[in-house]
Every structure is written in structure tokens, then in C-alpha cells.
Amino acid sequence: MTEKEKRDNQELYDGSFDEELENELIQAKDLCFEYNNTKPSDKDKREKLIKKILGKTGKNIVVESSFVCDYGYNISVGENFYMNHNCVILDCAKVEFGDNVFVAPNCGFYTAGHPIDVELRNKRLEYAKPIKVGNNVWIGGNVVVLPGVSIGYNVTIGAGSVVTKDIPSNSIAVGNPCRVIKNI
């Protein structure tokens, strides 16, 4: 089994010296570099680049610079999507955003994780678990979403939150760790 197949099966894998994964990382990072260095006024070029970077997009999307991801092809965004400046998506696994999702500045979506066991971690092993964000979600500034988390529909995540567990639909959640403070 290849390291990419292990990754996609949510098993421990070593992506640090895998030629296929390294080439895919470099390709995505080159595209992100080009995107981030394209003038905001060059909307046509920016739209073409972001659609080339991301795996699936709706028609009405805005991704502000700077934006960085690992592979790009594991990211899908729905209609009416807005991501503000300085966001990072480590998309070793799927990252899915529904329709009408708004992401504030400086947010991170991290599907990558590392073993707690020191010996395994020092072997450069890692794992990847998907992240899913439902429709009609607002994610405040400086939010971090960790591997394996699902955020339901009609949710607001307060600024500065660290989302470590699933957040149910129709709720407001805040804090570190992020927790529901109100059902709506």
C-alpha cells in the first residue's frame, strides 16, 4: 500500500519522503503562491487559479489572499462561500464546506495530526481525518478546527475558538475547547 493510500484510509503514513505526495504538495503550493501574488484587481486570473487549486467549488466564491493549503484537491466549497485573509487548510483528508459559509481572517482547518507516542511521532508518521462544515455557518476570526471535526448547519463559531469535537446544528459555540453555549 502506498503512503497516499494509507493517508486516504486514515492510517498512519509517512508523507515526508513520498515522491507522489511531495510532488502534489509542491504543485499546490506553487499555485497558492501564484494566487497570493496575483493582483486583487485581476479577478479573472484569481478566479481561474482558485478553481484550479480547489477540488470543487460553487459559482459564487471569494478566497482572500493569503491562502495556503497542502493539496487543494481535497477541498470542496459550496455556493456563496467567503474566506477572509490568512487562512490555512491542511487538507491531507477531505475538507468540505457547505453553502453560505463565511470564514473570518486567520483561521486554520487542520486534517493532519501526529501520534502522541513519541517513537511513532519521531518516525515522522502522521494521520489525516476529514473536516466537514455544513450550510449557513459563520466561523469567527482566529478559529482552529482540528482533525475529524464536523460542524453542523446554521452554526456560529465564536472568534478564537479551538474546535476539537463535533458541533451540532443550530447552535452557537465558543471557547477553547469550543463548546455549545446556546441553541438557536
* One-letter identity of residue 108: G
* One-letter identity of residue 42: D
Closest CA to 16 of 119, 118, 95, 123: 123
- Please tell me whether residue 138 adopts helix, strand or coil conformation: strand
Give yes or no for a contact between 62 and 85, defined as CB atoms under 8 angstroms apart. no
- The answer to whether 85 is a known catalytic residue is no
H/E stretch holding 180: strand 179-183
Catalytic, out of 4, 29, 52, 114: 114
**Residue numbers annotated as active site:** 114
